[in-house]
Amino acid sequence: MTKSKYLPLIATTVIFVVAYALCYLQFPNILSTRVIGNLLTDNAFLGIAAIGMTFVILSGGIDLSIGSVIAFTGVFLAVILENTGIHPLFAFVLALIITTAFGALMGAIIHYLDMPAFIVTLAGMFLARGMAFVLSIDSVPIVHPFYKTLKAFYFKLPGGGRITLIGGLMLVMFVVGIIVAHRTRFGTNIYALGGGTQTARLMGVPVGRTTIMIYATSGFLAGLSGIVFSLYTSAGYSLAAVGVELDAIAAVVIGGTLLTGGAGFVAGTLIGVLIQGLIQTYITFDGTLSSWWTKIVIGLLLFVFILMQKGILLASKLERRA
């Protein structure tokens, strides 16, 4: 049983390493620190949002609103920095408060109205995107000097690579996410909730508070991801980050988290994000392949991992019976 618990994570890691090795054989430059640094920078917003998605899926739920929340945060920051004189740091705090409250509200609706997370967060997705549209339908550039300062901030790697602020922030958030998931009471409660609401309640897990906290965390991380995205693109656009929720779900599943909840690792999600980034990088290196192959390959990977999860569940059931 303990073996099969780690199997999806091991499989993901092996696939990542083998895929990277294959890419390396074809394009030796892909192993440079420059490419690795860019891999982290380009996928920072997806990675941070995917941590929140991991928590939500571990608890047996789903959050479809994160793409819209990222776009809303970007537009909110751009509009507020353009029209008022407040410091970007203060605007960041405001944005995080709004998105966290938004997530908490969705969690409260899911718990108190006893409705499927899918449809509640669907409403959240419409609402956040709509609010972004109301703030501005145009792409608003961010020209604040503080953004330049933040973007100029990086850690130099040997070989010319750079870990930028946002790439580093993603790694830090993953470490925090791993600690929260495996070393705190809140993390244990999430896993318990994923095993079954009824069982969790009988074990004394505060179901309502945990549910609200999970979606608030997801909202907070989506807001943080929106800040990172606005740093990455230096603009706020209400049509940005469409479909990021799907990429995040794909990253979580490829990272080996069980979709029914209750089993999985935050670290796996990082590898899931990196696999998606690697596919994109390979397509860029190749130059002749079209970017839509990314979607097809990710769809195939999703399918393979879902099948593998089914196989593991079946095997553990047979084992228990024997």
Partner 1 sequence: MTAKLPATLVRLLPQIATLAVVLILNVILFPSFFDLSVQNSRLYGSLIDVFNRGAPVALLAVGMTLVIATKGIDLSVGAVVAICGAVAAASVAGGHSVPVAVASALAVGMLCGIWNGFLVAVLGIQPIIATLVLMVAGRGIAQLITEGAILTFTDEGLIFIGSGTAFGLPMPIVIWVVFGLAVTLLVRRTALGLLIESIGVNRQASQLAGVRTTALLIASYLLAGLCAAIAGLIVAADIKGADANNAGLWLELDAILAVVVGGNSLLGGRFSILGSLLGAVIIQAVNTGILTSGFPPEYNLIIKAVIIVVILVIQSPRIGELSAFLKSVRQGNP
Query: Residue 302, interface with partner 1 (CB under 8 A)?
Result: yes
Among 13, 150, 295, 308, contact with partner 1 (rule: CB under 8 A): 295
Query: Residue 124, interface with partner 1 (CB under 8 A)?
Result: yes
Instruction: Please state, in angstroms and rounded to a whole number, the distance separating the CA atoms of residues 45 and 65.
Output: 15
Query: Residue 289, interface with partner 1 (CB under 8 A)?
Result: no
| Shortest CB 134 distance to partner 1, Å | 5
Only one of the segments 91-99, 187-195, 217-225, 285-293 lies at the binding site for partner 1 (rule: CB under 8 A); that segment is: 285-293
Instruction: Please state, in angstroms and rounded to a whole number, the distance separating the CA atoms of residues 285 and 83.
Output: 41
Only one of the segments 6-14, 73-81, 112-120, 265-273 lies at the binding site for partner 1 (rule: CB under 8 A); that segment is: 112-120
Return the number of the residue (37 or 52) whose C-beta is nearest partner 1. Answer: 52
Are 54 and 176 in contact by the 8 Å Cβ rule? The answer is no
| Shortest CB 112 distance to partner 1, Å | 7
Instruction: Please state, in angstroms and rounded to a whole number, the distance separating the CA atoms of residues 187 and 58.
Output: 10
Helix (H) or strand (E) holding 225: helix 207-233
| Shortest CB 304 distance to partner 1, Å | 10
Site string for partner 1, 221-260 (x = CB under 8 A): -----------------x-------x--xx--x-----xx
Helix and strand counts by DSSP (H, E) for the chain: 14, 4
Only one of the segments 48-56, 85-93, 188-196, 303-311 lies at the binding site for partner 1 (rule: CB under 8 A); that segment is: 303-311
Query: Residue 159, interface with partner 1 (CB under 8 A)?
Result: no
Are 69 and 95 in contact by the 8 Å Cβ rule? The answer is no
Query: Residue 10, interface with partner 1 (CB under 8 A)?
Result: no
N-terminal to C-terminal alpha carbon distance within the chain: 13
Return the number of the residue (113 or 318) whose C-beta is nearest partner 1. Answer: 113
Query: Residue 118, interface with partner 1 (CB under 8 A)?
Result: yes
In this structure, the number of other CB atoms found within 10 A of the CB of residue 229 comes to 27
Instruction: Please state, in angstroms and rounded to a whole number, the distance separating the CA atoms of residues 150 and 88.
Output: 11
Return the number of the residue (116 or 160) whose C-beta is nearest partner 1. Answer: 116
Are 45 and 70 in contact by the 8 Å Cβ rule? The answer is yes
Site string for partner 1, 36-75 (x = CB under 8 A): --------------------------x-------------
Helix extents (H) in the chain: 2-26, 33-42, 44-58, 66-83, 88-112, 117-135, 145-151, 165-183, 185-195, 197-202, 207-233, 244-254, 266-286, 292-321
- Structure tokens, 137: 């339908």
Return the number of the residue (49 or 62) whose C-beta is nearest partner 1. Answer: 62
Instruction: Please state, in angstroms and rounded to a whole number, the distance separating the CA atoms of residues 261 and 196.
Output: 9
User: Phi and psi (nearest 5°) for 162?
Assistant: -135, 135
| Shortest CB 143 distance to partner 1, Å | 24
Among 89, 130, 159, 176, contact with partner 1 (rule: CB under 8 A): 130
Query: Residue 13, interface with partner 1 (CB under 8 A)?
Result: no
188 Cβ contact partners less than 8 Å away, ≥ 6 residues apart = none
Give me the residues that bind partner 1 (CB under 8 A), please: 62, 109, 112-116, 118-120, 122-127, 129-131, 133-134, 137, 238, 246, 249-250, 253, 259-260, 290, 292-296, 298-300, 302-303, 306-307, 310
